[in-house]
Structure 1
Amino acid sequence: METQQKADMILSSNAVFTGIMDTPQPGAVAIVGNKIAAIGSEADMESLIGPDTKQYRYHNELIMPGFHDFHLHLMLGSLAQDSVHLHEARSEEEAAEMVRKFADTRPNDSWIIGFGWYHVYWENGQLPHRSTLDRVISERPVFLFNAECHGAWVNSKALEMANITRDTPNPPFGEIGKDDDGEPTGFLYETAMGLAREAFVLPHERRQRLLRSFLQQAARLGITSVNDMFPLPGLDFGDLPLYKEFEEREELTSRIHFLAPLNGDLDYAKELRSTYTSGTLQFSGLKQFLDGVPTTYTAYLLAPYSDKPDTYGDTLLPPHMIKQWTNEADREGFRIRFHACGDGAVRLGLDAFEEARRANGVRDSRHTIEHIEVIHPEDIPRLHELGVIASMQPEHLAASENFSDNAYLSRLGKEREAFTFPIKTLEEAGTKIAFSSDFPVVPLNPLLEIYRAITRVHNDGLPKGGWNGKERISLAQALRYYTWGPAYGTFRELELGTLEPGKLADIVVLGQNLFEVSPEEVRDASVRMTIMDGKIVFQE
């Protein structure tokens, strides 16, 4: 007679959220090897307990599927955490002074790198100038990403290192800021940031340290899978050789699904697709930018900006090129993910997917649109009709600390305001939704996104009932969009995303039952334990 295999580990609690039902139930999860062997009552587990079975009994802590961040920038975010943060600055001068203090602590860094400044919240609301940085640091190049990573403020030394002068032409789909005399101001828009790519050539030892630090942080936050979006406008952030090195040493404590640029070069994409196929490191498709972001008027709208009626924003690439590349990649069976913040860019993405489907036939492509910060009502049903996933980041809707500083109100105006971050509307239209952080644009913590999705308030608690309160969603749905949604989005819903026998053991235990606490306690909840592939990768 065959003896039943004993569990390596059994977790039990009064609150097990499998992701299948809308509420947690008392129960237990048994793990054998790297898989979930059984789910049931504690009594059901008796026969699985052997002499070596580790048992973890919790009272009311929530056991649930591991979080899966569907859109982040792994190495860029890790670098951000090892750089100067300028989010708190309230003026150009204050930001420059923060850069100076940081640079003094890093005498050996060849470039000084920073993140997070936001001129929209500065006293004068103006874009910064290189001369302000030159006054505090002139001998070393400085490169400072703005809050959305779609523009950078640099000093004169950085312009010199990047060979940017008054005669340098704008790169395609980017712009070198210039003053009335034609001299560079030190602001690089979109793909112009790529002219200074030398800033990101980092020593191997530092890159190892950055990746290790990221993996530790992800495990501490209960994240067991990520989707690493390599491309930024003009820059390609990713480090496949390093990821592979960590995988071979069994040091990847989070599954990495990565995306390469959609740029017309399918030979390279095919090579990646056939090379990276493991359960912990795999190619996941192609990504491209259709537009920028509303705060800098670079998101592409169908009607002019409410507070700048002379512009609609623009596409980063010509629409005919986007459609051609989409058609070609779709024909070769690639999935495509488009950054599209404005309603004009969302429509362009949907049009490109629709034309590819007409040309190549219907298949389960799981093409995706990222962000969808505003949508035209006529396009709402099209995502479901075309099988397009909405990849959304609720924390972006509260980018400003206070609701009164919310730039979307002035940029988009009253009429479009009803269709900003339309999560519930898309859900009701049958759209598949996946949540993520867009780290380092906002922090990596999934519970921030979940808090924002269920409340839609800013950090000042306003507006009462939430901004576009009708777009709030339930806690169960928010958790699914951070677990099952991304698993579906990476074609792995049969292995990941819910707690079911036979699935991979990617599990998180939270410090409280989120279904019994206030939204603020949801946001501030801690992680007790993270399990990835059947191994404990974090324990409080």
Structure 2
Amino acid sequence: MAAAPDLVILNGKLVTFDPARPRAEALAVKHGTITAVGATGEIRGLAGSATRVFDAQGATVLPGFIDSHVHLFGGSVELDYLNLYGVEGHDALTEAVRAEAARSDDRVVFAVMAAYDILGPGRQTTRQDLDRVLPDRPFAMFAPDHHTIWANTKALELGGILHGGETDAGAEIVMAPDGTATGELREPGAYKPVLRHTRHGGRDMEGLVTGADPVPAPGPADRARDKAAIARGLAHCASHGITGLHNMDGNFYTAELLTELEAEGKLLCRTEVPFHLKSFDPLDRLEEAAEMRRRFSGDWIWTNRVKMFMDGVVESRTALMLRPYPGTTHVGDPVFGADHFTEACVRIDAMGLQIATHAIGDLAIRRTLDGYEAARRANGVRDSRHRVEHIEVLHPDDLPRFAALGVVASIQPGHAPRGHIFPAHGLDEVLHPEQIPMAFAWQSIRETGARVCFSTDWPVIQVDVMDSVKAAAAPLELPAPWTDQRQDLMDTLRSYTCDNAWVEFAEDRKGRLRDGFLADIAVMDHDLEAMDPEALDTARAALTVAGGRITWEA
């Protein structure tokens, strides 16, 4: 007689994404694997005296969510920083920051989620503004997209950049006519001198800022503090039904901390950590990517991808565009030169590694696709599943190239003006009217046959999956020239589960509720298909199971 399962989930509305059995009511789990999927009566009969029985009470049960674009270390750390989301105006900002300063003994009082127009529409934040907010201590705040930091005078002095300094390609310490910094620091190469003095010494951002390990090497106390922060972040992710993460910044240090957490039984989400190639890196540094792949190749922590940046973001006019921004002669800031990027793509593809490239502006997207196409010509066609991250402003001529080249569109629905999270008017002043119809063109891309995967880009927006599900399936209706890019609910859920398992080359063992697949499962507290789409963001995970282990229970 077969051994009884460890866990059975009954009375659910299972969305299995298994073509052989797309719907079911219940499932059984044993030794970290799904062992049976079927009707409630059938599965109940398998339970033994030691089996944990969970009643889904008619709610949706689906494969565990995989957030395919996160910054785990940074998101984890920022759970404890002052969050300025929704704060508007000098008085409200001052009240929030001074209250945080009274609580914090950090060298730099640091805040996150500061809107570009936090001091008012069209108002540029300066160091003098922030001096008035907090005059006696270093203070800095991150934009939601993490491409800009604003710092007061004391923070700029602490970072040694009050009078400017050297930056990487695509980065800028914005300078005033008097030869001092305005306080606006665009892109990691400009703001890293300030981050070095934050609570975690910038170690949480090193995988993004440099792609290398922290220098100096963290001591035991720093490692313990960093690991504890990541553990809290993983628990936070699990509470939203997430069982897998694709990190978008990485270094050996982050992967080592995750490996230690796995050994301690605290790695609650399967996590891929990429090698991050910066534009200033020699291409020979790709040998480190090969070493990361050799060292980290398990079911819970692995490396199989190289991350690169092609440009910045639209809001700060650092996204790379085919034509100048309205009222300017500026087309954005390339991070990689086109030839350099193409050479990198050819080398990485020849190594059999996947590529993920941040590309937001239409010229950045075109150059990224050009690089992937060149790799195919040089190395031959293979199942590479290379990714373009964000795809916010797309030229119509490049729309069919995703499907034609087998390139994955990696999209964050919550980033769009229609996504309910950021102001609906946020991009009107930085895009030309003719660019808008193909901005955030989720459905247009899907209809070409290209594979689409969804994610949050946490901590750019919160990691709560259902906020992004609502953004995709029930977006705001914006006036012309904005177009309707509404997503079908099943397409949305597939792009957060099954398709995200596929994009990590794991479609034969995860992303479906199927006998023999890994027991990564999310049980929701609502029947998602019965909900008013406008209310989807109120649904939550009732139970999260990763590798057969309960990692969250409401």
Equivalent residues of 1:14, 1:59 under 8 A apart: yes
Match of 1:20 in 2: 18
| In 2, Cα distance between equivalents of 1:491 and 1:24 | 21
Match of 2:88 in 1: 90
Match of 2:53 in 1: 55
The one-letter amino acid paired with 1:13 is N
1:377 to partner: Cα distance? 1.2
The one-letter amino acid paired with 2:365 is V
Q: Which secondary structure does the structure 1 equivalent of 2:25 belong to?
A: strand
Structure 1 residues 23 and 344: CA distance shift in structure 2, 3 A:
farther
| In 2, Cα distance between equivalents of 1:327 and 1:520 | 44
Matches within 5 A, 1:486-505: 486-505=500-519
1:270 to partner: Cα distance? 1.1
Q: 1:4-45, CA deviations, whole angstroms, 9 ceiling, x for partnerless residues?
A: 232111112241110236997442111111000111123433
- Greater displacement, 16-25 / 342-351: 16-25
| In 2, Cα distance between equivalents of 1:336 and 1:404 | 31
The one-letter amino acid paired with 1:303 is R
Q: Which secondary structure does the structure 1 equivalent of 2:10 belong to?
A: strand
Q: Which secondary structure does the structure 2 equivalent of 1:239 belong to?
A: helix
Matches within 5 A, 1:5-16: 5-16=3-14
Is 1:258 matched with 2:273?
Answer: yes
Is 1:174 matched with 2:189?
Answer: no
The one-letter amino acid paired with 1:435 is F
Q: Which secondary structure does the structure 2 equivalent of 1:295 belong to?
A: coil
1:136 to partner: Cα distance? 4.4
Paired residue total? 527
Is 1:391 matched with 2:388?
Answer: no
Q: Which secondary structure does the structure 2 equivalent of 1:226 belong to?
A: strand
What are the ranges of 5 or more consecutive residues in structure 1 without an aligned counterpart?
Answer: none
| In 2, Cα distance between equivalents of 1:136 and 1:473 | 42
Structure 1 residues 31 and 212: CA distance shift in structure 2, 3 A:
same
Equivalent residues of 2:138, 2:153 under 8 A apart: yes
Is 1:509 matched with 2:523?
Answer: yes
Which of residues 245, 249, 271 is equivalent to 1:226? 245
The one-letter amino acid paired with 2:124 is L
1:352 to partner: Cα distance? 0.3
Q: 1:509-538, CA deviations, whole angstroms, 9 ceiling, x for partnerless residues?
A: 111110011013321012111111001111
1:89 to partner: Cα distance? 2.7
Q: Which secondary structure does the structure 2 equivalent of 1:294 belong to?
A: coil
Equivalent residues of 1:89, 1:122 under 8 A apart: no
Q: 1:450-490, CA deviations, whole angstroms, 9 ceiling, x for partnerless residues?
A: 11111221xxxx54899522x21111110000001211111
Match of 2:303 in 1: 283
Match of 1:149 in 2: 146
The one-letter amino acid paired with 1:189 is R
| In 2, Cα distance between equivalents of 1:92 and 1:204 | 37
| In 2, Cα distance between equivalents of 1:399 and 1:331 | 39
Equivalent residues of 2:169, 2:334 under 8 A apart: no
Matches within 5 A, 1:99-248: 99-106=97-104, 108-120=105-117, 122-166=119-163, 168-190=165-187, 191-199=189-197, 200-201=200-201, 203-230=222-249, 239-248=254-263
Q: Which secondary structure does the structure 2 equivalent of 1:16 belong to?
A: strand
Equivalent residues of 1:291, 1:298 under 8 A apart: yes
Equivalent residues of 1:120, 1:295 under 8 A apart: no
Equivalent residues of 1:80, 1:440 under 8 A apart: yes
Equivalent residues of 1:434, 1:482 under 8 A apart: yes
Q: 1:246-288, CA deviations, whole angstroms, 9 ceiling, x for partnerless residues?
A: 1111111111111121242112111111001111111131111
Matches within 5 A, 1:469-488: 469=484, 471-488=485-502
| In 1, Cα distance between equivalents of 2:267 and 2:516 | 22
1:146 to partner: Cα distance? 1.1
Match of 1:344 in 2: 363
Q: Which secondary structure does the structure 1 equivalent of 2:505 belong to?
A: coil
| In 2, Cα distance between equivalents of 1:165 and 1:399 | 38
1:363 to partner: Cα distance? 1.2
1:392 to partner: Cα distance? 0.4
Equivalent residues of 1:15, 1:24 under 8 A apart: no
The one-letter amino acid paired with 2:3 is Q
The one-letter amino acid paired with 1:242 is L
| In 2, Cα distance between equivalents of 1:431 and 1:400 | 22
So what's the TM-score if we normalise by structure 2? 0.90
Match of 2:216 in 1: none
1:359 to partner: Cα distance? 0.7
Q: Which secondary structure does the structure 2 equivalent of 1:418 belong to?
A: helix
Q: Which secondary structure does the structure 2 equivalent of 1:245 belong to?
A: helix
What are the ranges of 5 or more consecutive residues in structure 2 without an aligned counterpart?
Answer: 204-221
Q: 1:342-366, CA deviations, whole angstroms, 9 ceiling, x for partnerless residues?
A: 1111111000000011011111111
Match of 1:538 in 2: 552
Is 1:294 matched with 2:320?
Answer: no
Aligned identity (percent) is 31
| In 2, Cα distance between equivalents of 1:81 and 1:506 | 25
| In 2, Cα distance between equivalents of 1:74 and 1:300 | 26
| In 2, Cα distance between equivalents of 1:55 and 1:181 | 69
Equivalent residues of 1:64, 1:499 under 8 A apart: yes
| In 1, Cα distance between equivalents of 2:74 and 2:137 | 21
So what's the TM-score if we normalise by structure 1? 0.92
| In 2, Cα distance between equivalents of 1:359 and 1:415 | 35
Is 1:269 matched with 2:283?
Answer: no
- Greater displacement, 219-228 / 109-118: 109-118
The one-letter amino acid paired with 1:369 is V
